[in-house]
Structure formats: structure tokens, C-alpha cells
Amino acid sequence: MLIEVEHWSGAGNRFVIVDNRKKEINNQWNILVSYLCKRNNLPNAEGLLVLLEIDKNKSICIYDFYNPDGSTGVMCGNGARCAVRHAALTENFSSNQIELILNGCSYKSKLLDNDRVALEFPLYKELRFIDDWTYVNVGSHHVIIDARYLIKSIDDFYQFDLIKFANENLNLYRNKIGINNINLNLAYFINDQSNIYLRTYENGVFHETQACGTGAISTAIAFWKKNIINNNIIQIIPISQRFLTVHLDIDQKKENILGMTLEGDAQQDAPSTLFDTTSMAYI
Ligand SMILES: N[C@@H](CCC[C@H](N)C(=O)O)C(=O)O
């Protein structure tokens, strides 16, 4: 069977999207995803979004997200923003406020100008300070490492061998947290700037990705909680250089985070192509 595949990115994080509202494919996505992510003439995608349903009268869209290794059930911040904009281009919504249901969880979102989408997150599920790093669970699991412990300049930050570091240390973090599917974030903050530079080695991709939305949210939480940054609007610069903005909703005493919003671009990168589910390749 031939299926149409769309090629998208959110802040540089690359996704393939398939509209399965007609339910042509059932239950094989965990196998198909690794082949769908290996694209002709485009860099590998870093995840798959499957459109399940759109209710344009209620402004609701439903998608599932899969990692390239076939795993699912985790939150993907950039994928979620792509899903919302994809739904808005697929059907005409009467409102710019759209409810997204991703892997069964509901999120409020808003379509903004310049291809940007804002997505509201519920409060993080867990936050732990361990040694000199932080673990945050925002629907996916993140370790935040303050890069100032490892490097001295922004040049060093970009030169740092994150893959080697992940290969050598991932199991150590996994064992300390007791969770296997963790993402490693290397975050660099320069004192006189309000930006955080961020590189992420993603679970399920097992490589560095161009950007990571939940990594950005988790980093903002960790750095604000540790008083490294005091602003509640935080600009995150991923290696794609397509910035993400995290808004932290803070209580009056300025002690607790009540909720978070992730904002960034979401765009179609290339025309749709056809994928053959028999040969498991793009034609
Ligand atoms: N790219 C994502 C994170 C996707 C989930 C991650 N690969 C995991 O398995 O935890 C994002 O933008 O949040």
C-alpha cells in the first residue's frame, strides 16, 4: 500500500506526519516508524505523528507520537506543536485555540503569527536535584546538566562531544534515577544574557536532535528552580538556532511554578512523498 507522508519540523526537530483518519493502517506504527524516519533526500526524521481524528467544530485534534525506535507514550513538545499546526492546515478551525490530544493526554494550544504555536503543559510530574544535575518529568524524562561544570565558553559548548558523553554516561544517569528512557540535556547559560543554549541527546532517537521541546521546558524549570535564571520568560536556543520560548507561570511568592507554556515555530519542510508499506521504503 502507498501512504502519503508529510515532512515537518518544530524548532528544527524533524517529524514525519501521516493522516490515518481513514484507519488504513492499524497497529503497525511501532514497526513502520523506523523506516518512515529514514527519508530520501532529507535528513532522518526524529519522530512520527499519526493523525487519528479532527473535530473542527470543537477545535480538537487527536494524534499519536512514536519515537524512531518504535517506543511511544511519551510527550513530545515540538511534535505536539507541529501536530496542532498540521491539524489547522488540514481542517479549517473556527478558533485559533485548539485542544490537542497526544498519546491520550490533553493539551491546550494556540496558533500564533509567523508559524508559531504555543502549547500549555500541566505542572511537571517530578523534579529531583541529584548531585550537580537535575531530573525533570514533564511527560518525558529529562536530565539537565549545567554545561558550566564541563566547559568554559560558548565555542566549547558547540564543540563538546555530546554523543560520546551520552554513550559513556547514559547508564549512570539511568541507574541513579531508576528510569531507562531518559533524554540528556546540556544547557549553557551566560550570566549577562537571558538565553539558555541547549543541546539534547534524545531517547528513542539515540542521537543528538536539532531541538527538543520537552528538553527546553525541563531546562527552564531546572534553571529557574536553582535560581540560575530569574526571568519567567526564558529564551532557549537549540542547535538549529530556531529559538523556543518558555513561559513559566509563577505563584505570587515567586517560589512555585504553577504551569508552563512552550512556544516556537512549526512548519512543513518539504512537499509530501509516498511511502510503500510493502517494500518499507519511500518511492
Ligand atoms: N523531541 C521531543 C521529545 C520526544 C520524546 C523523547 N524522544 C523521549 O523518548 O523521551 C520534544 O520536542 O519534546
Give pLDDT, residue 265: 98
Residue 12, ligand 1, Cβ within 6 A: no
- Cα–Cα nearest to 281, from 59, 5, 71, 68: 5
Q: What is the C-alpha to C-alpha distance for residues 184 and 114, in angstroms, rounded to an integer?
A: 30
Cα(20)–Cα(106) distance, integer angstroms: 19
The predicted pLDDT at position 79 comes to 98
C-alpha to C-alpha distance for 102 and 83, rounded to whole angstroms: 9
- In the chain, CATH 3.10.310.10 sits at 2-121+268-282, 126-265
Whether 37 is in the pocket of ligand 1, judged by its Cβ within 6 Å, is no
pLDDT of residue 191: 77
Closest C-alpha among 106, 70, 99 to residue 84: 99
Tens-place pLDDT, residues 88-100:
999 999 999 999 9
Domain 2-121+268-282 sits in CATH at 3.10.310.10
| ipTM for this model | 0.98
Query: CATH class for domain 126-265?
Result: alpha beta
- What local confidence, expressed as pLDDT, does residue 62 receive? 98
Instruction: Identify the H or E element spanning 53.
Output: strand 48-55
Which residue is closest in CA terms to ligand 1's atom 3? 76
List pLDDT tens digits, range 73-89: 999 999 999 999 999 99
Q: What was the pLDDT predicted at 193?
A: 74
Pocket of ligand 1, candidates 13, 63, 69, 76: which has the most ligand atoms within 8 Å of its Cβ, to mutate?
A: 76
**149 grid coordinates:** 561544570
pLDDT in single tens digits along all 283 residues of the chain: 999 999 999 999 999 999 999 999 987 999 999 999 999 999 999 999 999 999 999 999 999 999 999 999 999 999 999 999 999 999 999 999 999 999 999 999 999 999 999 999 999 999 999 999 999 999 999 999 999 999 999 999 999 999 999 999 999 999 999 999 999 999 999 876 779 999 999 999 999 999 999 999 999 999 999 999 999 999 999 999 999 999 999 999 999 999 999 999 999 999 999 999 999 999 9
pLDDT for the residue numbered 5: 98
> Whose Cα sits closest to atom 5 in ligand 1?
76
User: Is the C-beta atom of 185 inside 6 A of ligand 1?
Assistant: no
C-alpha 144 – ligand 1 centre gap (Å): 14
CB 144 within 8 A of CB 126: no
